[in-house]
């Protein structure tokens, strides 16, 4: 017994060390029985999503005998939420494993307590686990991390690395990029000392590195006009950024895991000295994204591009992001969106550890998120940071500035932060869980992943900054009888909390830059409890960017003043040659307004009198109107003006003010367009590329060009030489230069998917789009084939595109019929005449050559013509074609079943002429055709090696097993009730044997995989025979690739010799099944009796 006890103690010490090393394994010991646990379905360790049931394998190791076990699940408040008692018997082997499922869901941090007793001694174990209230449907499985903001002196690397290390996981954000620090070196890139120090620490700590790329913000150095700080808004400047990012990723040897793009704008209308126009920022995203993708493709990496899309202190999604990114196609160029809600200043210098501890213990005063400051100490507590003890470098007095970034994978902090800090905020954005403080939330709920206007996964950061912007002023003027009140709790029009600002003393003025969709404001204490105002009502004015709001000061009854202006955008657009349309909203009721558009560099002071005819040179347009009863206006009018950008000045009589900032009108004079087009046609006809280039650069706006480099201009030049431009067709001009720019980008390898730009070539490449719509997976392969080819014009581009499409389709045919169709559509470039071959011979040759990658059309044709058709070899089994072989026979488990329709054992005459190469399936095919389960595909051909579609196999299974079942109900949007397959899918659904890819999508027209085929026929089989518990360990090396839902089917059918692998060591579950395989498997299942 003493030796046994020593053995157990040693084993326990090892297990205890493993517990510290691996959070997913929890081991405890008692006198007679050792208890250990391992999560069966946890996402990371003992963490479960809301659509999981927490399931553990509990292992009991000890002396043989009978024991009584109690299981109790308790929450963080020690409240029991689930319990179970049972008796167990440990056999002579000395151990027993029990699967325990906690079938009552209680979200949060939990503990499963297990106690086992033999009546005299008791052993116990405690297994911590977390059940998140978000699902496991993760659209993008990215790295998780806490990222610290160390740029511009906001803390030291050592201090920030320490904070990340305390969290256990994370990534650190690097310093900013400035034009002056890179471009002057002209591509002689080198790492800065700070970057080198970060990389050294990364090597020591294994922490991921996120690089912040500034576009250059003059604010930081105090000179808005300084050209050294910001890159020029030219192709040269954009390419410099792109090259820098790509080179930096190479220099850091894969240690940078994400690049955050700092947009450098500070309000939604891009006004002020610190801003560039929206197109610049869309272009910035594009080129930095291209730099990241170029590196990823070259080195097979997965670096993420992160777009910083907000207005510093608020939620600017509905304004800046929409304007800058969506409307200008910038949203294509980043993987994540970054939103930064404001938090109270956390960047104060601390003298001693005691001061750090004191400030952190008052986290509810320092960190205010969405009006839920009371939850922050709970987050600290859940993280195990109750003592708030941090070492501190007194010499540098570092400011612990932490920015928490969210990626997409669950961990044990997900539900903590989700429940405690951001619930209402997430409901407002209708998006995924985010992270706050030092906590991390790494999961997405698929039903909440869409951000308004953007459709991107959201990446949220929390910043501790001390910056106060003077752009707009919010004045707090409250009577002294309200003490210790938090400044304001902002709400939207649906009475949902947006964000709460920090403590202000009475009579104090807070200067903040804000851009919130706020309708009114209330007073609240530090815990978010609304306060009543005891004195007389007063009006409080909030200046939120260009949307002034007037709020009545009665804190108990919210009332909006009549001249309140809802947050609505004012839009001015050119609709035709001289036609302009403006629209927007001015208040909440009908009111008069005036519209003025002045000539460039002109204003009201330049007018002598409105009746003077010469005033047309000053005032391009003047009119007045009345809004509708809800304050909306819409006006169309004609103007005559030069090509330029104009301000549209709108004065509201109801508001007694001019709307600011004024909407802008980008206007193109068709006279200027025609003049530029005539010049370009002349330069092209005289083969003058230099003149053509200068003309384009001097008439960018008149030609409708946003951005183009010299290579793109040369491509447009070659196009115009072949076909002159139409002098008054603006849309054709835009299309010409946009397409030329895209081809230039493609030539430089900066486009990952050419089909993101189909609007530029859709009409001239219809045959290409046909196959890409059928097989979207072809897109990136086609793009890779035509990238970096030095394409000279559109005709050559279309030629490359068509050839690449055929070659990529031949390499990935997804059914030989697709290649046959493509040979007809691309007959002008692929010199193969199907009429020279018999149908079966032609298909056999294509089966031989397709599935391989060819560099040119000539290589494909040469391989096709080199194939020699040999006589079939007859044997009892063999290749099934198209991804597998099957054989029947051998020993089988006998299952009594009087309901199955038995096939004939012998068929006298073969009815098909093309079964010689599937001898192993001949009897199954002929028998099932004799029963009416299968049909041929025309004449005497069965086409055994053709792939089976999902709807075709559903029909086979219904006819073989389920003809007596009632119809069910379906919601599949791709199932047409007028098609032949409709009654069979109804019946299969009524028998509850089929599922689609989702509740609304069946997958009509898709080939069925080997694992799905097994699952469907097995479902039909057990519907008649009942569940079968026979299991077997599969001998295939790829058995782990079999989907969990299909494993029982494959195991049963393999054990009963109904299905084999494609060879001795591989089952190929994802390969598509052929008609011969389908017949063989149905026949085999019918014979299990």
Q: Which tokens is 821 given?
A: 């169709």
Peptide bond into 60 cis (omega under 30): no
Per-residue pLDDT at 888 exceeds 50? no
Number of Cβ atoms within 10 Å of the Cβ of 386: 11
Tokens of 393: 């470098």
pLDDT band at residue 620 using 50, 70 and 90 as cut-offs: confident
CATH classification of the domain holding 213: 3.20.20
CA distance 957 to 948: 12
According to DSSP, the β-strands at 122-131 and 108-117 are antiparallel
Do the beta carbons of residue 413 and residue 108 sit within 8 Å? no
Residues 837 and 959 in one domain: no
* Tokens representing residue 887 in the block: 């054989």
Shared domain check, 933 and 831: no
In the block, residue with structure tokens 């408040």 = 77
DSSP 84-122: EEEEEEE-TTSEEEEEEE--S---EEEEEEEEEESSS-E
SS3 call for 781:
helix
Rounded to a whole number, what is the distance in angstroms from the first to the last CA of the chain?
55
The rounded Cα 101 to chain-centroid distance in angstroms is: 32
Show Cβ contacts of residue 71 under 8 Å, excluding neighbours closer than 6 positions. Answer: 82, 83, 84, 85, 100, 112, 113, 114
Q: With respect to residue 375, please indicate whether it lies within any of the assigned structural domains.
A: no
* Number of other residues whose CB lies within 10 A of the CB of residue 911: 13
**Cβ pair 925, 881 in contact under 8 A:** no
Same domain? 433 vs 322: yes
In a domain, residue 376? The reply is no
Domain boundary among 497, 520, 552: 552
Q: For the chain, give the mean pLDDT.
A: 65
User: Does 874 fall in a domain?
Assistant: no
Could you count the other beta carbons within 10 Å of the beta carbon of residue 54? 26
Strand 122-131 relative to strand 80-90, pairing: unpaired
Helix (H, G, I), strand (E, B) or coil at 319: helix
> Does the residue 357 lie in any domain?
no
Number of separate domains in the chain: 6
Residue pair 245/259 in contact (Cβ under 8 Å)? The answer is: yes
373's tokens: 């400051």
Check whether residue 845 and residue 803 sit in a common domain: yes
User: Does residue 689 lie in a domain region?
Assistant: yes
Based on the fold, state whether residues 243 and 342 are members of the same structural domain: yes
Out of 131, 157, 185, a domain closes at 131
pLDDT digits (tens, 9 = 90+) for 1023-1046: 888 877 666 788 888 888 888 888
What pLDDT shows up at residue 298? 82
Closest by CA to 442, choosing from 47, 749, 953, is 47
Query: How far is the C-alpha of 127 from the C-alpha of 28, rounded, in Å?
Result: 9
* Nearest alpha-carbon partner for 601 in 644, 632, 635, 639: 644
Q: Which domain covers residue 760, as residue numbers?
A: 670-866
The predicted-structure confidence for 301-348, as pLDDT tens digits, reads as follows 878 776 643 333 222 233 344 444 555 555 566 665 444 333 333 333
385: in domain: no
Distance CA 943, CA 933 (A): 15
Segment of 96-110, 235-249, 423-437 carrying the highest mean pLDDT: 96-110
Across the beta sheet with 509-510, the strand order is: 509-510, 474-475, 539-544, 547-552
Q: What is the band of 190 on the pLDDT scale with cuts at 50, 70, 90?
A: low
pLDDT tens readout for residues 380-412:
444 343 333 333 332 222 222 222 222 212 222
Task: Say how many C-beta atoms besides its own lie within 10 A of residue 539's C-beta.
Answer: 10
Residue 465 has pLDDT above 90, yes or no: no
Return the half-sphere exposure (C-beta side, CA atoms, 13 A cut-off) of residue 961: 29
Residues 624-645 have pLDDT tens digits of 888 888 788 999 999 988 899 8
pLDDT grade for 234, boundaries at 50, 70 and 90: low
Which residue would you say has higher pLDDT here, 508 or 803? 803
CB atoms within 10 A of CB 904: 11
Backbone angles phi, psi at 988, to 5 degrees: -65, -35
Q: Is 808 helix (H, G, I), strand (E, B) or coil?
A: helix
- How many whole angstroms separate alpha carbon 283 and alpha carbon 707? 8
Tell me, yes or no, whether 576 and 546 share the same domain: no
941: CB partners within 8 A, 6+ apart: 839, 840, 912, 913, 914
Q: What is the largest CA-CA distance in the chain?
A: 114
Condensed to tens digits (0 to 9), the pLDDT of residues 576-585 reads 888 999 998 8
- DSSP H helices, 342-430, are 353-361, 363-366, 376-382, 414-420, 423-429
Query: Which residue, 880, 945, 868, 879, is CA-closest to 914?
Result: 945
Q: Is 248 in contact with 211 (CB distance < 8 Å)?
A: yes
Q: How far is CA 283 from the centre of its chain?
A: 21
Q: Which residue has the higher pLDDT, 968 or 449?
A: 968
Q: CB neighbours (10 Å) of residue 1?
A: 6
Nearest to 857 by CA among 829, 823, 818: 829
Quick: pLDDT tens for 716-767.
999 999 999 987 788 888 889 989 999 998 998 888 888 888 766 666 677 8
Distance, in Å, from the CA atom of 367 to the CA atom of 362, rounded to the nearest integer, reads: 9
Task: Tell me how far apart the alpha carbons of residues 288 and 309 are, in angstroms, rounded to a whole number.
Answer: 15
Quote the CA–CA distance of 242 and 289 in Å, as a whole number: 8
Q: Outline where DSSP puts E strands in 215-292.
A: 256-262
User: Whole-angstrom Cα distance, residue 765 to residue 776?
Assistant: 16
Count of C-beta atoms within a 10 Å radius of residue 217: 19
What is the 8-class DSSP label of residue 21? Answer: H
Q: Where are the beta strands (DSSP E) in 281-438?
A: 304-308, 336-339, 342-343, 402-405
pLDDT value of residue 38: 81
For 477-533, the pLDDT digits (tens) are 222 222 333 333 333 333 333 333 333 333 333 332 222 333 333 444 334 444 443
Per residue in 891-910, pLDDT (tens digit) is: 222 223 333 333 333 443 45
Residue 663 and residue 613 in one domain: yes
Residues 653 and 776 in one domain: no
Instruction: Determine the Cα–Cα distance for residues 799 and 743; give it in Å rounded to an integer.
Output: 13
Question: What is the C-alpha separation between 814 and 821, in angstroms, rounded?
Answer: 12
Mark whether 938 and 958 lie in a shared domain: yes
- Distance CA(597)–CA(582), nearest Å, equals 12
The pLDDT, as a whole number, for residue 615 is 61
pLDDT bracket for residue 616 (50, 70, 90): low
Q: Region 250-255: what's the mean pLDDT?
A: 79
Residue 538 CA to residue 533 CA, distance in Å, equals 10
In sequence order, what are the residues at sequence separation of 6 or more whose Cβ sits closer than 8 angstroms to the Cβ of residue 702? 643, 668, 669, 672, 673, 675, 676
Boundary (domain end) residue, out of 667, 694, 721? 667
User: Which pLDDT score is estimated for 45?
Assistant: 55
Residue 511 CA to chain centroid, in angstroms? 36
CATH number at residue 643: 2.60.40.2150
Nearest-5° angle of CA 94, CA 98, CA 103? 160
Position 793 pLDDT exceeds 90: yes
Is residue 363 in some structural domain? no
3-state secondary structure of 423: helix
pLDDT digits (tens, 9 = 90+) for 8-51: 444 444 444 444 433 333 333 334 588 888 877 654 456 666 66
Q: Which helix (H) or strand (E) holds 498?
A: strand 497-500
Taking 90 as the threshold, does the pLDDT of residue 555 lie above it? no
Tell whether 201 and 337 lie within a shared domain: yes
C-alpha distances out from residue 435 to 146, 377, 404, 882, Å:
9, 15, 6, 48
State how far the alpha carbon of 626 is from the alpha carbons of 586, 597, 651, in Å. Answer: 10, 18, 11
Does a structural domain hold residue 164? yes
Tell me the C-alpha to C-alpha distance, in Å, between residue 455 and each of 326, 447, 451, 685, 822: 10, 12, 5, 45, 34
Q: Is the pLDDT of residue 237 over 90?
A: no
Looking at the fold, whether 756 and 856 belong to one and the same domain comes out as: yes
Span of 295-309, 587-601, 806-820, 943-957 with lowest mean pLDDT: 295-309
* 378 pLDDT above the threshold of 70: no
> Any idea which of 237-241, 544-548, 836-840, 1029-1033 has the lowest mean pLDDT?
544-548
Give the three-state DSSP class for 695.
helix
**Is the pLDDT at 184 greater than 90, yes or no?**
no
Give the pLDDT confidence of 717-730 residue by residue, as tens digits. Answer: 999 999 999 877 88
Bridge partners, residue 57, by sequence: 38, 99
Q: How far apart are CA 1009 and CA 883, in angstroms?
A: 10
Range scoring the smallest mean pLDDT among 65-69, 259-263, 273-277, 600-604: 273-277
Q: Are residues 259 and 195 in the same domain?
A: yes
**Cα torsion through 280, 323, 293, 799, rounded to 10:** -90
Q: What are phi and psi of 10, to 5 degrees?
A: -60, -45
Q: Is 719 strand, coil or helix?
A: helix
Residue ranges with strand state E in 760-888? none
């Amino acid at each position: 017994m003493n030796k046994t006890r020593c053995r157990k103690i040693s084993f326990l010490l090892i297990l205890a060390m493993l517990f510290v090393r691996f959070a997913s394994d929890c081991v405890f010991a008692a006198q007679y029985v050792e208890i250990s646990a391992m999560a069966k379905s946890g996402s990371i360790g003992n963490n479960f999503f809301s659509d999981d049931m927490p399931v553990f394998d509990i292992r009991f190791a000890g002396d043989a005998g009978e024991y009584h076990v109690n299981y109790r699940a308790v929450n963080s408040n020690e409240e029991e939420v689930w319990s179970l008692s049972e008796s167990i018997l440990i056999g002579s082997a000395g151990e027993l494993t029990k699967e325990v499922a906690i079938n009552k869901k209680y979200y949060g941090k939990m503990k499963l307590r297990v106690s086992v007793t033999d009546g005299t001694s008791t052993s116990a174990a405690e297994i911590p686990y977390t059940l998140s209230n978000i699902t496991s449907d993760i659209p993008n499985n990215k790295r998780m991390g806490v990222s610290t903001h160390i740029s511009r002196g906001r803390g030291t690397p050592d201090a920030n690395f320490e904070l990340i290390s305390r969290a256990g996981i994370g990534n650190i954000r690097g310093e900013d990029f400035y034009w002056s620090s890179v471009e002057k070196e002209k591509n002689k890139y080198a790492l800065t000392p700070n970057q080198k120090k970060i990389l050294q620490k990364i090597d020591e700590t294994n922490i991921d590195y996120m690089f912040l790329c500034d576009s250059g913000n003059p604010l930081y150095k105090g000179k808005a006009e300084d050209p050294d700080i910001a890159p020029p808004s030219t192709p040269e400047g954009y390419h410099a950024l792109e090259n820098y990012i790509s080179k930096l990723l190479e220099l850091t040897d894969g240690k940078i895991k994400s690049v955050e793009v700092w947009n450098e704008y500070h309000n939604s209308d891009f006004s002020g000295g610190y801003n560039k126009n929206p197109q610049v920022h869309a272009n910035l995203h594009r080129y930095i994204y291209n730099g990241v993708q170029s590196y990823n493709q070259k080195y097979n990496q997965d670096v993420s591009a992160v777009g910083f899309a907000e207005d510093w202190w608020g939620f600017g999604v509905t304004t800046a992001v929409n304007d800058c990114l969506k409307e200008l196609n910038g949203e294509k160029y980043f993987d994540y969106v970054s939103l930064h809600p404001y938090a109270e200043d956390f960047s104060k210098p601390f003298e001693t550890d005691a001061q750090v501890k004191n400030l952190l213990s008052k986290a509810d005063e320092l960190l205010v998120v969405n009006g839920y400051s009371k939850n922050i100490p709970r987050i600290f507590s859940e993280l195990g940071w109750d003592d708030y003890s941090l070492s501190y470098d007194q010499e540098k007095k570092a400011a612990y500035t932490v920015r928490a970034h969210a990626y997409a994978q669950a961990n044990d902090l997900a539900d903590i932060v989700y429940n405690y800090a951001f619930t209402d905020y997430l409901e407002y954005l209708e998006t995924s869980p985010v992270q706050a403080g030092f906590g991390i939330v790494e999961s997405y709920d698929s039903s909440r992943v869409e951000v308004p206007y953007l459709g991107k996964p959201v990446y949220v950061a929390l910043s501790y900054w001390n910056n106060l912007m003077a752009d707009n002023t919010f004045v707090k003027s409250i009577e002294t009888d309200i003490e210790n009140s938090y400044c304001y709790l902002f709400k939207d029009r649906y009475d949902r909390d947006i964000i709460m600002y920090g403590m202000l003393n009475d009579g104090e003025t807070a200067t903040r830059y804000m851009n919130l969709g706020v309708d009114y404001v209330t007073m609240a204490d530090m815990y978010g409890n609304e306060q009543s105002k005891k004195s007389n009502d007063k009006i409080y004015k909030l200046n939120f960017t260009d949307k002034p709001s007037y709020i009545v000061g009665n804190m108990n009854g919210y009332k909006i003043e009549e001249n309140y202006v809802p947050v609505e955008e004012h839009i001015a657009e050119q609709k035709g040659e001289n036609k302009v349309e403006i629209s927007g909203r001015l208040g909440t009721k009908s009111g008069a307004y005036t519209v003025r558009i002045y000539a460039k560099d002109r204003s009201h002071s330049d007018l002598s009198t409105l009746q003077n005819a010469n005033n047309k040179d000053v005032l391009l347009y003047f009119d007045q109107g009345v809004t509708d009863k809800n304050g909306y206006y819409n006006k169309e009018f004609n103007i005559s003006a030069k090509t330029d950008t104009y301000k549209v000045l709108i004065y509201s009589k109801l508001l007694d003010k001019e709307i600011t900032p004024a909407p802008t009108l980008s206007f193109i004079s068709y006279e200027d367009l025609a003049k530029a087009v005539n010049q370009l046609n002349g330069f092209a006809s005289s083969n003058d590329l230099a003149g053509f280039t200068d003309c384009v650069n001097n008439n960018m706006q008149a030609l409708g060009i946003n951005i183009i480099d010299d290579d793109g201009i040369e491509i447009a030049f070659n196009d115009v030489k072949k076909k002159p431009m139409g002098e008054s067709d603006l849309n054709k001009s835009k299309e010409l230069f946009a397409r030329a720019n895209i081809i230039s980008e493609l030539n430089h390898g900066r486009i990952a998917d050419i089909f993101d730009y189909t609007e530029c070539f859709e009409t001239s490449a219809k045959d290409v789009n046909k196959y890409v719509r059928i097989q979207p997976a072809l897109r990136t392969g086609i793009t890779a084939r035509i990238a970096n080819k030095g394409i000279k014009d559109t005709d050559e581009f279309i030629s490359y595109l068509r050839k690449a499409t055929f070659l990529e389709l031949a390499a990935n045919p997804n059914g030989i019929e697709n290649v046959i169709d493509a040979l007809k559509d691309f007959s002008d470039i692929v010199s193969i005449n199907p009429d020279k071959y018999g149908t079966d011979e032609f298909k056999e040759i294509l089966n031989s050559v397709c599935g391989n990658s060819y560099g040119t059309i000539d290589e494909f044709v040469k391989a096709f013509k080199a194939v020699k058709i040999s006589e079939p070899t007859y044997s009892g089994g063999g290749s099934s074609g198209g991804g597998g072989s099957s054989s029947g026979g051998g020993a089988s488990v006998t299952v009594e079943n009087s309901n199955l329709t038995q096939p004939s054992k012998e068929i006298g005459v073969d009815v098909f002429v093309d079964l010689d190469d599937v001898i192993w399936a001949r009897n199954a095919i002929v028998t099932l055709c004799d029963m009416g389960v299968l049909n041929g595909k025309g004449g005497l051909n069965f086409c055994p090696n053709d792939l089976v579609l999902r709807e075709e196999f559903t029909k086979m299974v219904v006819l073989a097993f389920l003809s007596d079942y009632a119809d069910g109900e379906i919601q599949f949007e791709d199932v047409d009730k007028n098609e032949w397959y409709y009654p069979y899918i109804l019946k299969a659904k009524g028998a509850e044997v089929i599922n689609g890819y989702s509740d609304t999508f069946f997958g009509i027209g898709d080939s069925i995989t080997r694992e799905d085929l097994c699952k469907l026929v097995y479902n039909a089989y057990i519907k008649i025979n009942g569940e079968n518990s026979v299991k077997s360990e599969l001998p295939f090396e790829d058995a782990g690739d079999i989907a969990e839902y299909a494993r029982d089917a494959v195991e049963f059918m393999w054990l009963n010799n109904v299905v084999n692998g494609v060879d001795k060591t591989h089952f190929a579950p994802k390969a598509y099944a052929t008609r011969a395989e389908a017949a063989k498997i149905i026949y085999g299942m019918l014979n299990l009796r």
